[in-house]
Amino acid sequence: MITKEKIAEAYQLIQDEICTGLEISDGSAKFQEELWQRNGGGGGRTRIIQSGSVIEKGGVNFSAVYGKLPENIKKAFGVTEDDFFATGVSIVIHPNHPWVPIIHMNIRYFEMTGESGKDLRWFGGGIDLTPHYVIEDDARFFHSALKQTCDRFQSEFYTKFKNWADDYFFIKHRGETRGIGGIFYDRLNPQTTGLDWDDIFEFSLAVGRTFLSVYPELIRRNRNKSFNDEQKKWQMQRRSRYVEFNLVYDAGTKFGLETNGRIESILMSLPPQANWIYDFKASIGSEEEKTLKLLKKEINWVS
Amino acid sequence: MITKEKIAEAYQLIQDEICTGLEISDGSAKFQEELWQRNGGGGGRTRIIQSGSVIEKGGVNFSAVYGKLPENIKKAFGVTEDDFFATGVSIVIHPNHPWVPIIHMNIRYFEMTGESGKDLRWFGGGIDLTPHYVIEDDARFFHSALKQTCDRFQSEFYTKFKNWADDYFFIKHRGETRGIGGIFYDRLNPQTTGLDWDDIFEFSLAVGRTFLSVYPELIRRNRNKSFNDEQKKWQMQRRSRYVEFNLVYDAGTKFGLETNGRIESILMSLPPQANWIYDFKASIGSEEEKTLKLLKKEINWVS
C-alpha cells in the first residue's frame, strides 16, 4: 500500500501541474503562494490567482495536516482512534465571464490511526461544474470526460458518483442544483470499491488530472463570446447561489469553520462578488429560464 | 392577557409606521408590497424598498402564521403541543452609503397550544446595528436609545439583552461581532421577566418604535458625508461578513430554510451586493483597522 507521504507528494505534483495549466490557460495572471503551518501538525500551500484575463478569483490549495483527533470528530465518526492524517488538493475558480463556468475540484485522503488496529482510511473527492448559463454541449463534454476517467477504473463509478454529486450539490431551499453536477465520492476503500488501494489512489490522481483536460477547453470555448450587462448581472446572481450552497450546506466548509481551519483558505471558494436580487423571475423563453430548468437532478448528459 | 389577534394587529401598525418613516427618511424610494399566504395557515405582508436615495435594499416584513407544529420542532422544544401561532415584524436595511450603517430589527410573539394546558408562549426580538465603519458617537447614541427603552420596563433589561446581542451576533470563525450589537432577547414571559404579559407586550412595541427614533437620525447624520472607492469596497466586504453571519449562524434564517419558509422573505436580509476580498489586511492606523478593533464583545457604549 502506498504511504501517506507518497500520497501527499503526488497531490503536490497535481497542484503544481494544475497551477501551471491554469496560468497558461488564463494567459496573464499568476498564482501567489502562501505557505502556512497548522498548530498541532502539518500545513499547506495556498495558491491564489486573481484579476486574470478570464480567472477573476481562484484558489488551488494543497494541504497535509495531522495530529490528534478532536473529541467531537471522534464522536461524529464513532471511533476511538486518537490520531489523524489528511491531505488533499482543493480548487475553486470563479471566472470573470458569464459564459465561462465556475469549477470546483477536490481530491483528498484521510486516515485515522490508534490502538484498535482498524484500517480506517479512505479517499474522497470529485469535480463539478457550475455554469452561470448551462450550455448543453459543454455539459455533455464535461460529463463524458468524467465518465471516461471513471470507466478506466470501475464500470459503476460514473453513475454512482454522478448521482452522488446530484444529491450533494443541491440547494434544498431553492429546489435547484448548484450547477450541472459532476462526480462526488467519499470513503473509497477496497471494501466499497472492489479495487485495491493502489488503484483507488490512481483513480484519485486521474480525477485530479481530469481537471486540466476539461477546464482549459471550457474556457477556450467560451472566453471570446460577447455578453451584456444583463448577463453580467445574472452571473452575479448565480454566484449568490454558490455562496448560499457553500455557507449553508457544504460539508467541507462547515468542517473547516467548526474546527478552526484557516479561514482565508476555506472561504477562498466564495466569489469575489455576489449579488442578491429580490425575487428575480426569469422571463419566459430566456436563456436564464432555460438554465434554471436544467438545474435539476437526474439529467443524463452522456447518453 | 392580550390576545394573539391584538398582538398581530399592533405589529401590523408598527410595520405601517416604520414603512412610512423610512420612506420619508429616504426621500425617494417607495415600498412595494407582496401579500403571501402560507400553506397550512396564515401569511404575511412582505414590503421591499430598493434603489432609494440612501436605502439600496431593505425589507420590512410582517407575518402571522399558524398551524400544526412540525415533529422536528416539537422535538427541539421538547413539547407535545400540536398547534402554534407566530407573528412578528422583521427588518433589515442595507444602505448604499458606507458611512450609513446596516440595521436589523425584529419583534415577535410565539405560542404553542395543546392538551397539556401548559402556558407555552413568549416574546422575542431585538435591534442591532452593523456599521461598515464604527462611529463611536453614533454607537453611543444608538445604545443609549436602547437603554432608555429598556429602562422604562426593567432596570436589568438593557445589560442583559445587550450581552445577549453580543453573544448572538458573533461571527465565530472570524472572531468578530457582526456589528456593534444592540439588544437581543427571547422567551420573555412573566417568569423570566417579573413583568405581566401586558407589560411584556408593551415592551415589545416599544422596541419596535425605537427603530424610528434611531435609524432616520443615523441616516441624517451620515448620508451627506463624502466617500471614495476604497471605502465603497470596504462596505462591500463588510457586507460579505453579514452574509456569512446570516447563512452560517442566524437562528431565524436557519429555521426559515429548514421549515420551507418563503425564501425571498427570509433571504431579503442578504445585501444587494457583497464582495469577498482574499486575505484583506487593514493598514495600520486606518479607519478600517479602527473598526475591526471595535467589532468586539463587551464594549460599554453607555457609560
Residue A9: HSE in the Cβ half-sphere, 13 Å Cα cutoff: 5
Cell numbers that stand for B197 in this block: 404579559
Over range B232-244, report the average pLDDT: 98
Q: Would you call B48 an interface residue with chain A, using a CB distance cutoff of 8 Å? A: yes
Residue B260 has pLDDT above 80, yes or no: no
- Does residue B38 or residue B23 have the better pLDDT? B23
Question: Which residue is closest to A174 within chain B, CA to CA?
Answer: B263
Contacts of B279 in chain A (CB under 8 A): 34, 48, 264
What local confidence, expressed as pLDDT, does residue A200 receive? 98
The C-alpha atoms of residue B50 and residue B31 are separated, in whole angstroms, by: 8
Q: Which of A34-38, A160-164, B258-262 has the highest mean predicted lDDT (pLDDT)?
A: A160-164
Question: Chain A interface, mutation test: which of B60, B176, B232, B276, most A Cβ atoms within 10 Å?
Answer: B276
pLDDT class of B76 with cuts at 50, 70, 90: confident
Over range B192-201, report the average pLDDT: 97
In one letter, which amino acid is A182? Answer: G
Contacts of B263 in chain A (CB under 8 A): 173-174
What local confidence, expressed as pLDDT, does residue B261 receive? 78
**A169-194 pLDDT, tens per residue?**
999 999 999 999 999 999 999 999 99
What local confidence, expressed as pLDDT, does residue A36 receive? 93
Are B278 and A268 in contact (CB < 8 Å)? yes
Cα–Cα distances (Å) from B195 to B153, B155, B173, B203, in that order, read 8, 12, 37, 10
Residue A303 has pLDDT above 90, yes or no: no
Task: Note the CATH architecture for domain A4-294.
Answer: 3-Layer(aba) Sandwich (3.40)
Question: Chain A interface, mutation test: which of B170, B278, B279, most A Cβ atoms within 10 Å?
Answer: B278
Question: Which residue is closest to A257 within chain B, CA to CA?
Answer: B173
Residue B199 has pLDDT above 90, yes or no: yes
Residue A75 has pLDDT above 90, yes or no: no
To the nearest 10 degrees (0 to 180), the angle between helices A229-248 and B229-248 is: 40
Over range A38-51, report the average pLDDT: 93
pLDDT class of B74 with cuts at 50, 70, 90: confident
In the predicted model, what is the mean pLDDT of chain A?
A: 95
Over range A126-151, report the average pLDDT: 98
Q: Would you call A2 an interface residue with chain B, using a CB distance cutoff of 8 Å? A: no
Contacts of A272 in chain B (CB under 8 A): 275-277
Over range B194-220, report the average pLDDT: 98
What local confidence, expressed as pLDDT, does residue A194 receive? 96
Residue B1 has pLDDT above 80, yes or no: no
Are B173 and A50 in contact (CB < 8 Å)? no
What local confidence, expressed as pLDDT, does residue B235 receive? 98
**B108-136 pLDDT, tens per residue?**
999 999 888 888 999 999 999 999 999 99
**B104-120 CB burial, b ≥16 within 10 A, e <16:** bbbbbbbbbbeeeeeeb
The C-alpha atoms of residue A209 and residue A213 are separated, in whole angstroms, by: 7
The C-alpha atoms of residue B2 and residue B182 are separated, in whole angstroms, by: 27
Q: Would you call B96 an interface residue with chain A, using a CB distance cutoff of 8 Å? A: no
Are B273 and A273 in contact (CB < 8 Å)? yes
Residue A163 has pLDDT above 80, yes or no: yes
Question: Which residue is closest to A275 within chain B, CA to CA?
Answer: B273
What local confidence, expressed as pLDDT, does residue B6 receive? 97
CB A47, CB A15: distance < 8 Å: yes
The C-alpha atoms of residue B18 and residue B90 are separated, in whole angstroms, by: 11
Interface of B with A in 211-240 (CB under 8 A): 236, 240
Are B275 and A273 in contact (CB < 8 Å)? yes
Q: Which has the minimum average pLDDT: B37-51, B147-161, B217-231?
A: B37-51
- The secondary structure of chain B, three-state, reads CCCHHHHHHHHHHHHHHHHHHHHHHHCCCCCEEEEEECCCCEEEEEEEEECCCCEEEEEEEEEEEEEECCHHHHHHHCCCCCEEEEEEEEEEEEECCCCCCEEEEEEEEEEEECCCCCCEEEEEEEEEEECCCCCHHHHHHHHHHHHHHHHCCCCCHHHHHHHHHHHHCEEHHHCEECCCEEEEEEEECHHHHCCCHHHHHHHHHHHHHHHHHHHHHHHHHHCCCCCCHHHHHHHHHHHHHHHHHHHHCCHHHHHHHHCCCCHHHHHHHCCCEEECCCCCCCCCCCHHHHHHHHCCCCCCCCC
The C-alpha atoms of residue A55 and residue A26 are separated, in whole angstroms, by: 6
Of the listed B104, B132, B143, B173, which one is catalytic? Answer: B104
Residue A60 has pLDDT above 90, yes or no: yes
Closest CA to A174 of B260, B241, B159: B260
Q: Would you call B174 an interface residue with chain A, using a CB distance cutoff of 8 Å? A: yes
What ipTM score was computed for the predicted complex, to two decimals? 0.92
Distance from CA of A235 to the nearest CA of B (A): 12
Which among A48, A57, A274 is the nearest to B274, CB-wise?
A274
Cell numbers that stand for B180 in this block: 456593534
The C-alpha atoms of residue A130 and residue A176 are separated, in whole angstroms, by: 12
The C-alpha atoms of residue B21 and residue B17 are separated, in whole angstroms, by: 6
CB A74, CB A81: distance < 8 Å: yes
- Does residue B143 or residue B117 have the better pLDDT? B143
Q: Would you call B281 an interface residue with chain A, using a CB distance cutoff of 8 Å? A: no
The C-alpha atoms of residue A18 and residue A11 are separated, in whole angstroms, by: 11
Beta A42-50 vs B176-177: how paired, if at all? unpaired
Closest CA to B63 of B83, B48, B47, B43: B43
Distance from CA of B245 to the nearest CA of A (A): 9
Over range A237-258, report the average pLDDT: 93
In the predicted model, what is the mean pLDDT of chain B?
A: 95
**A61-74 pLDDT, tens per residue?**
999 999 998 888 88
Residue whose grid cell is 450587462: A229
What local confidence, expressed as pLDDT, does residue B39 receive? 87
Residue whose grid cell is 471566472: A95
Active site residue B173: no
Q: Would you call B271 an interface residue with chain A, using a CB distance cutoff of 8 Å? A: yes
What local confidence, expressed as pLDDT, does residue B154 receive? 97
Closest CA to A268 of A68, A32, A85: A32
Distant-in-sequence, close-in-space partners of B35: CB < 8 Å, separation ≥ 6: B43, B44, B45, B46
State the CB neighbour count (10 A cutoff) for residue A249.
18
Q: Which has the minimum average pLDDT: A9-18, A244-253, B113-122?
A: B113-122
% of chain A surpassing 90 pLDDT: 87
The C-alpha atoms of residue B82 and residue B66 are separated, in whole angstroms, by: 11
What local confidence, expressed as pLDDT, does residue A103 receive? 98
Closest CA to A288 of A247, A234, A220: A234
